[in-house]
Amino acid sequence: MHSPRPAVVARAPGRVNLIGEHTDYNGGLCLPFAIRLATTATVTPRADDQLRMTSTEAASGDTLWQRYVVGVVAELRAAGWTVPGLDIGLASTVPLGGGLSSSAALECAVATAVAGLLGIPLDADTRRLLAGACRRAETDHVGAPTGGMDQLASMLGAEGHALLVDFADPGGPATTPVPLPVTAAGLALLVTDTGVRHSLADGDGGYAQRRRECEAGEPRRLRHVTTENDRVRAAVEAIDDGEWDRLGALMTASHASLRDDFEVSVPQLDLAVETANGAGALGSRMTGGGFGGCTITLVAADRAAVVREAVDAAYAERGWANPVHHLVEPGPGAEVLSTAG
């Protein structure tokens, strides 16, 4: 009789960046956190060396997500792991392409499931190694020149904590968990998805262009990076001191810098930020690469509904489709859920 083939299930979260945008590929600081929306990967070894994948999310004809998976397996093999052929099943609650790092969640879920399959413990070093492999899957296999923040947040995020990442550390990105007790402080973190979609996997797109401008030392772009690093440091202090108004002000200043100096905002993001602040939020900013995607707003828990409604009304007034809101909180990083046979 055949024994059942072992299957491993793992989950990896999307992320929101609280502050510190377009700093990762500039050797700077960022402060993301893992959210509860996540991708689940089920991997089962095959007798041959093929990769077969199915996804509950995939729009027919869209095969980009498969390149992320192929890239992750190739990078793990390049790191010396003996990865067999696999059947891979994927399901996700992270909105695709919506600025919450659906791609990092996908990559990290597959990498974590493979680690589980090979019996490799998920200690901090392994998590770092997987984050690096997943970033290279994205940059070298898919052609999205991203900076590494998303995969670190997904792999190393911790319940109730943001993750301070310092990309200047010569030993590789240094990560420090920062307790983020927003709920205990009577606050909420509201993510507003503008519905404007962007692609980072576009070599001619704005993201790649910004990277080139930073490499070329364009003063206006670098002014954003320098002031943003200062804001991240100040944000960590504000959080430590429970100075939530100050954190909110830093978030709004970050948005202004991304809009005016770095020029990666769009009118839908600007309107969401201005309306949220006008409706009594402590602060608000675009989060992620920009050119669409989401805002993150810090607001008193009992005002979150008022802010949502105000943003919806502002969009309706311009004839724009309703944005989608998510209340988010810092959740755990990637984990193996089961290794059942």
Q: Which residues are catalytic?
A: 150
Query: Applying CB under 6 A, which of residues 24, 75, 193, 261 lies at the interface with ligand GLA?
Result: 24
CB 127 within 8 A of CB 334: yes
Shortest gap between Cβ of 312 and ligand GLA (angstroms)? 25
State yes or no: residue 206 binds ligand GLA (CB under 6 A): no
CA distances from 164 to 158, 280, 309, 337 (A): 11, 27, 32, 26
Burial-class residue 339 by CB neighbours within 10 Å (0-12, 13-18, 19+): middle
CB 34 within 8 A of CB 66: no
Compute the distance between CA of residue 82 and CA of residue 95 in angstroms, rounded to an integer: 32
CA angle 319, 322, 324 (to 5 degrees): 155
State yes or no: residue 22 binds ligand GLA (CB under 6 A): yes
16-24, 174-182, 265-273, 309-317 -> range binding ligand GLA (CB under 6 A): 16-24
Site string for ligand GLA, 175-204 (x = CB under 6 A): -------------------------x----
Indicate the angle between helix axes 149-156 and 102-117, nearest 10 degrees: 50
123-131, 144-152, 242-250, 321-329 -> range binding ligand GLA (CB under 6 A): 144-152
Which one, of 263, 251, 259, 261, lies nearest residue 299 by Cα? Answer: 251
Output 44 or 257, the one with its CB closest to ligand GLA. Answer: 257
Output 7 or 153, the one with its CB closest to ligand GLA. Answer: 153
- Give the single-character DSSP code of 158: B
Output 150 or 261, the one with its CB closest to ligand GLA. Answer: 150
21-29, 68-76, 231-239, 303-311 -> range binding ligand GLA (CB under 6 A): 21-29
Find the binding residues for ligand GLA in span 262-291 (CB under 6 A). 288-289
The site for ligand GLA, by CB under 6 A, has a size of: 12
CA angle 298, 334, 294 (to 5 degrees): 30
What is the number of residues in the chain? 341
Q: From the CB of residue 209, how many other CB atoms can be counted at a distance below 10 Å?
A: 13
Output 89 or 99, the one with its CB closest to ligand GLA. Answer: 99
Shortest gap between Cβ of 25 and ligand GLA (angstroms)? 6
38-46, 83-91, 143-151, 174-182 -> range binding ligand GLA (CB under 6 A): 143-151
Query: Applying CB under 6 A, which of residues 107, 150, 193, 261 lies at the interface with ligand GLA?
Result: 150
Output 13 or 147, the one with its CB closest to ligand GLA. Answer: 147
CA angle 83, 67, 16 (to 5 degrees): 100
Shortest gap between Cβ of 200 and ligand GLA (angstroms)? 6
Shortest gap between Cβ of 76 and ligand GLA (angstroms)? 20
State yes or no: residue 25 binds ligand GLA (CB under 6 A): yes
1-9, 18-26, 86-94, 152-160 -> range binding ligand GLA (CB under 6 A): 18-26
State yes or no: residue 147 binds ligand GLA (CB under 6 A): yes
State yes or no: residue 98 binds ligand GLA (CB under 6 A): no
Proportion of the chain in helix, strand, coil states, percent, rounded to 5? 40, 25, 35
CB 187 within 8 A of CB 244: yes
State yes or no: residue 228 binds ligand GLA (CB under 6 A): no
Shortest gap between Cβ of 214 and ligand GLA (angstroms)? 10
Residues whose CB is less than 8 angstroms from the CB of residue 334 and which lie 6 or more positions away in sequence, other chains included: 10, 11, 12, 13, 108, 109, 111, 112, 122, 127, 130, 154, 155
Binding site for ligand GLA (CB under 6 A): 21-22, 24-25, 146-150, 200, 288-289
